């Protein structure tokens, strides 16, 4: 992550400043290799009454990790854009009773990037898995993120 550390630190600061829930959930960027973003959150602030991760926290962490990946990919492309989640769904395969780890990957960003450059808006499909310590997927999130280029300065 070293070559991407400044971008990741800026993203982490942005989350904590603009999305206070990310800080309350103890969400941290673990790694970014230019294509895949991994985050973690401690279980304690995200627990439910059963002592496992609250489903809403899993959804929020997955959605925010996906948003972060789109943000980072646009930064690497030299594009400043407003990004929102347009739709998202999650399947919960099994409970999470440990540190929550999310891994996001873009499907095919080429259409979204081309649309963003041509029409100033585009969509990006992101898959995020909530991983158990052994690497198995505990939850699978699919999100569609809409991005609109920032207005050009005159």
Report the CATH fold assignment for 2-149: Thiol Ester Dehydrase; Chain A (3.10.129)
DSSP string, 98-116: S-EEEEEEES--HHHHHHH
Tokens at 127, concatenated: 């898959």
CB 129 within 8 A of CB 93: no
| Residue-range domain boundaries for the chain | 2-149
**From the CA atom positions of the chain, what is the Rg in Å?**
15
Predicted TM-score (pTM) of this structure: 0.95
- In the chain the beta strands, taken as DSSP E runs, fall at 27-32, 36-41, 81-92, 100-106, 121-131, 137-149
**Confidence check: pLDDT of 153 > 70:** no
User: pLDDT for 22-64, tens place per residue?
Assistant: 999 999 999 999 999 999 999 999 999 999 999 999 999 999 9
Scan for tokens 């800026």, then name that residue.
10
| pLDDT tens for each residue of 108-134 | 999 999 999 999 999 999 999 999 999
User: Residue 1: what pLDDT?
Assistant: 54
Query: For tokens 């971008």, what's the residue?
Result: 7
């Amino acid at each position: 992550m070293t070559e991407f550390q400044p971008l990741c630190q800026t993203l982490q600061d942005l989350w904590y400043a603009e999305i206070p829930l990310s800080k309350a959930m103890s969400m941290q960027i673990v790694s970014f290799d230019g294509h895949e973003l991994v985050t973690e959150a401690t279980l304690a602030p995200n627990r439910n009454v059963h002592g496992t991760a609250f489903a809403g926290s899993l959804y929020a962490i997955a959605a925010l990790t996906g948003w972060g990946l789109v943000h980072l990919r646009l930064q690497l492309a030299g594009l400043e854009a407003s990004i929102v989640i347009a739709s998202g769904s999650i399947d919960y395969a099994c409970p999470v009773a440990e540190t929550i780890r999310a891994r996001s990957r873009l499907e095919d960003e080429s259409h979204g990037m081309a649309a963003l450059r041509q029409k100033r808006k585009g969509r990006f499909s992101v898959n995020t898995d909530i991983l158990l310590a052994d690497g198995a997927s505990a939850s699978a999130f699919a999100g569609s993120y809409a991005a609109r280029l920032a207005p050009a300065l005159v």
